[in-house]
A and B are shown apart, each in its own frame.
Chain A
C-alpha cells in the first residue's frame, strides 16, 4: 500500500520567552492513498502545529527540529518555496474550521473558484463551468447563480460547502480538513460529514481529518491517530481503537464522552490534572501524571511503540493491559 502522506519522526518547537516549547515530538503519521485518517486530540495536543508544518506555514518563531514530511514521496520540508506553492491547492488543499477566514470576502465565489484554476490552460467560461459543476456536486442549490454570490451572502453551512468545493476542485491527492464541522450545528455537521465521504469516493483523494470530536472521527474515518501534548500516543483502525483502546489516554477520552452513557450518572468521568509544561516536558511517559496505570518505569523510560495488533500500536508500557 502506498502512502499519500508520510510524516516521520517530526519534531517542531516554538521559541518563547521561557524557553523552547516542544509542540510536536517525534510524531509519525501515515495517510495511505484513498483513506480517511483522523487525528484526534484536545487543546494543546499539537494539531495546529501539525497542520502548519504540513503546509509549511508555521509561525515565525517555530523551528522544525527534525523529521520529514513526504507528500507522494516528495519531501515537503526541503521543497523550494516555488514548488511548495505549486503543491498547495494543487496536490494538497485544506478546509478550515471557519470558512469565512479562508474565503476572500471581497471576491465573488465564482471569481475565487476561477482564480484557483490559474494553472489550467482553459478559457474562463470553461473554468466557470467546472466551478459550477463542483458547486452542484457539493450540494449547493442553483450553482450557476452562486458563482455571483459573495461569501457573506451564504450561510455557514453553505460557505463550508463552498470551501470543500474549492478544495476538491483541483482534485488534490491529499485533503486536510481542520475541524471543518466544529463551527457548525449538529444537523449541518452530519451533512458535511456525508459530503466529505462522497467527495473522497468521487475524487479518490486521501483525507487527513483533524478534530477534537471523537464522535465525528468514529463516524467518518478509517484509521485514527490519537495525540496528546505533542506526541502521537496511539494509532490504529477506528473500530479497533474504539473497541479496545491500547493507550490509557485514549481509553479515558472515550470514557469521558457523556454520549456513551445511557443512564444518568452521579459523577461524570473526567481526566483530572492538566497538560505538562511543554517547555520542560517530564522524563518518561508524557501522560503519566494523569494516568491511573502509571508505574515506576513510566517515570523513567519513554514508552516505545507497542504493537497490539498488526495495524494498531500504542506508546504505552502497559499497552496490552489497557483494554481487558
Chain B
C-alpha cells in the first residue's frame, strides 16, 4: 500500500441472497447467492475525486455502502487511511471520518427533525462538544449556501436543492477525510445542479476532501472527477483519468454509454451506438466477457474467454480483449 492512498480496495466482492424461499431449495448453488459487486480493486489517493459510473444494477451504490460497512463484504479487503476495514473495525469511529451522502436529497433527512437538529446531529452522535450550538449550525448552513432562516424548517418544507445543501452541510460537520456521495445530482433540476456541484467542488478544495462520487450522469464527470471507473454487472470494465476516458474510451461499453448520452444540441447528433438488449440479471451472467451479448464489436472468443482489467494503450486500464483505438468508429 502506498502512502498517498486514502482508500484502497482489493478484490472486493459483495453477495446478496439470490433465489428466496422455496425456490432457494431447488435452485442451483450458484443462483442462491448473486454477486452485486464482483472482485473490485481500486485506490483513491488523498485529495482525489474518483467517479463511479454505470447504469442501474451495476453495483456502484452497493460498493460505496460496502466501504463504510452498511453492507457486509463477502470477500476482499478494504483499507481506509491504512486501517483495515475488512477486519471488524470500530465502525462508529470510522464513520466519523467517512461521510456519506445519499441519493434522495429530501428522503435522506429524518422527517421530524428540523434543519438545525439535522445539522448538529453528527456532533451528538459522536459526542463532540459544541459551544454555541446556534452559531455552529448557522456557520455550517452558511458554508453550504443557505440562509439562517432555514434552521427551523422541516425536510418536507425544503426543495430538492435546499435539502441537498443541508446534506452537504451535515456531511462536512465533523470534517471528514472521505466523502462517499451517491448520485449528488439525482432529483435536481438542471438549473440548480450546477450550484450543488460548484458547492461540492468548493468544499472539496477548502477541506482537502477525498471523494468517491457515484453517478449515472456522464455530463458532469468532466467537472467533478479526476478519474472515472465504469462499472458493468458489478465489475469495473474501464478506469482512467477523466479526460482520457471521455475523449478516447477504450471499452465498447464506455463508448456506447458516452454515445447514448443525448446532447442538448440538435445539430450535433454524434455517433449513434444503440446497444441491443438490456443488462443481464446478476443471476444470469453471460460466459466469457459479460458484455459480449450486447457488444457491437464482439468476436467469437469473447463468448468464451473472460477478459481481465489490464493497462490500456490510452493510459488507464480496460477489461476488453479488443480495446478500441482512439479513432475507431463502431456506431452508425
Q: Given A186-B261, A187-B257, A187-B260, check contact A253 B159 (CB 8 Å).
A: no
Query: What is the minimal beta-carbon distance from A151 to any residue of chain B, in angstroms?
Result: 15
Query: What is the minimal beta-carbon distance from B22 to any residue of chain A, in angstroms?
Result: 18
* Chain A, 233-286, CB within 8 A of any chain B CB: 238-239, 242-243, 252-254, 256-261, 263-272, 274
Whether A215 lies near B261 (C-beta < 8 A) is: yes
Question: Which single residue of chain A is at the shortest CB-CB distance from B191?
Answer: A271
Partner of A271, one of B192, B201, B266, B279: B192
Rounded to whole angstroms, the CA-CA distance of A272 and B192 in the bound complex is 7
CB of B288 within 8 A of chain A?
Answer: no
Whether A258 lies near B192 (C-beta < 8 A) is: no
Whether A270 lies near B192 (C-beta < 8 A) is: yes
Report the stretch among A84-92, A189-197, A300-308 that lies at the interface: A189-197
Whether B191 lies near A259 (C-beta < 8 A) is: no
* Chain B, 176-226, CB within 8 A of any chain A CB: 189-195, 197-198, 201, 216, 218-220, 222-223
Q: Given A157-B278, A212-B189, A258-B223, check contact A189 B262 (CB 8 Å).
A: yes
Question: Which single residue of chain A is at the shortest CB-CB distance from B205?
Answer: A266
Contact with A along B262-277 (1 / 0, CB 8 A): 1111110100101100
CB of B56 within 8 A of chain A?
Answer: yes
* Chain A, 160-215, CB within 8 A of any chain B CB: 185-191, 193-194, 212-215
For chain A, which range describes its interface: under 10, 10 to 19, 20 to 34, or 35 or more residues?
35 or more
CB of A42 within 8 A of chain B?
Answer: yes
Whether A253 lies near B191 (C-beta < 8 A) is: yes
Whether A270 lies near B191 (C-beta < 8 A) is: yes
| B216 / chain A contacts, CB cutoff of 8 Å | 185-186
Question: Which single residue of chain B is at the shortest CB-CB distance from A213?
Answer: B262
Whether B261 lies near A259 (C-beta < 8 A) is: yes
Query: What is the minimal beta-carbon distance from A255 to any residue of chain B, in angstroms?
Result: 9
Partner of A254, one of B223, B264, B267, B279: B264
Question: Which single residue of chain A is at the shortest CB-CB distance from B257?
Answer: A186
The interface size of chain B toward A, counting residues with CB under 8 Å, comes to: 38
Whether A257 lies near B266 (C-beta < 8 A) is: no
Question: Which single residue of chain A is at the shortest CB-CB distance from B202?
Answer: A267
Whether B269 lies near A42 (C-beta < 8 A) is: no
Whether B265 lies near A158 (C-beta < 8 A) is: no
Query: What is the minimal beta-carbon distance from A239 to any residue of chain B, in angstroms?
Result: 5
Rounded to whole angstroms, the CA-CA distance of A214 and B195 in the bound complex is 18
| A257 / chain B contacts, CB cutoff of 8 Å | 190, 219, 264
Partner of A265, one of B159, B195, B223, B264: B223
| B197 / chain A contacts, CB cutoff of 8 Å | 258, 268
CB of A294 within 8 A of chain B?
Answer: no
Whether B264 lies near A218 (C-beta < 8 A) is: yes
Subset of 14 A-B contacts with CB under 8 Å: A187-B256, A214-B264, A242-B266, A256-B190, A258-B194, A260-B263, A260-B264, A264-B222, A266-B201, A267-B194, A268-B220, A270-B191, A270-B192, A272-B195
**Given A187-B260, A238-B266, list of 15 further CB < 8 A pairs?**
A157-B278, A190-B260, A215-B262, A218-B263, A218-B266, A219-B266, A242-B265, A259-B218, A259-B219, A266-B201, A267-B198, A268-B193, A271-B192, A272-B195, A274-B159
Interface set of B (CB-CB < 8 Å, partner A): 55-56, 159-160, 189-195, 197-198, 201, 216, 218-220, 222-223, 243, 256-257, 259-267, 269, 272, 274-275, 278-279
Rank and list the top 4 A-B pairs by shortest CB-CB distance, nearest first.
A215-B262, A270-B194, A268-B194, A185-B55
